[in-house]
Structure 1
């Protein structure tokens, strides 16, 4: 039986990758430091749970025995990225090198500057605009270098902001709220710019399907997902529900003031530029590999409903 280790199964990407792997017939091992109860009900009793920390190489190495892939779903808080991101990743990369595993890594759009490359595909030159973007470029470069120097392989699947019931602290979960039977949306951009989103169950299904494809040792795929503005989202919700949707400006000033007391909010401010310029991802490469299955995307209203956002 095919066996996979999922790190970060209590988070968004890790959870949905574990679900998709189970659906595809994989045996799934999870390594969690916060206890078995941190796993969602959908996973409890279906995956092998091992208590441990993704920063502990011995624990990761032991959990990975007999596996062929390692799903990297861990992510430190924004304000700890510079200190922890690369060291945390290096633990898993070392295990993949030593055990010749394939790493599945969730890419994002921080690697690019939408003012220079508003449309990106797998061949677009990276051009990070922020420190967090530079960190993400370093992380992906570290994976590529390890692949070139060993028998490990890697699959990066890149998408926009997550949508998913089991994805904590997503942008839409913060922007959407229910008020007296109606719905309120906070709009991060006065120009009502389009923004890229991806429904995690669809992303995970695509990533798992790619595991059966004939790939190079290091491959990157883009998942286009959805692209819409907050006013377009409001119209979609009103048309489908009949509920009134109000739009208010996102409180950037309040966030800036709060960031003086809460360092993690500085990362939110740093990413504001992604709301001020559109950035779209091309799924053409994904479609070449998966064919019609790559176009089977959950309708946005269904994704919002299943994620309990409306």
Structure 2
């Protein structure tokens, strides 16, 4: 993991956030591919931005994002893809710690594996591109409010007419969200609201996608007389609404909850224990499951 967030006194803005993960676990991909099956894969997420702050009144920004996912076994080829996304945006100060913003992004997702004999080719895979516009508010750090209020609209177009089974691809136009707003109620109590929505394709071989919509709240609480301990927890609900109609249109309700106790050994070092709960309730019962996890963690920041 690498993160850079820099704003020079002269106005230059630079941001880089990269996370590389090599996994062999049963927790599945973002679209829950092979959930419950030990699967080797790696993925890399890169987000960058460059811009300029004009007299602390207006900011002009450019964005580039790159994501890649690659599975070890050929049989999992439908999950191999990379994403390139480019964007531009502007921010204008409307209050001492509050900015209004608007952004435009264009992106492409390419499924790059097409083993012979599978029937999946460049001419029928689920490659697609999108245009999206987002607008909202951003709060500077140091105030009661922080984070970003972010809503928008996306136009997603598939590159091919039909999939490997000759099912027609349907373009997607829908509202989207990427909101994360935190509120410092007291010096030891912080609340966070998250709202997210995006359309997601599931694999290279089918015309299947779903709208993923979620809302959640988190609480972080310092413990009285125990300044080195912090208790945090949250709950979240998400709905997955699939486009395919075979017997009946699939819809999933997902519930999440977690609680974590962190001990701050030093300002830069912490240890924690936690519990995570997740359950899926689908109108197609074969997708139902419940997942319980207990965690021990050690974290450092420099």
Larger radius of gyration: 2
Greater fraction of residues in helix = 1
TM-score, normalised with respect to structure 1: 0.32
TM-score, normalised with respect to structure 2: 0.32
Q: Say which structure, 1 or 2, has more relative contact order (CA 8 Å, 6+ apart).
A: 1
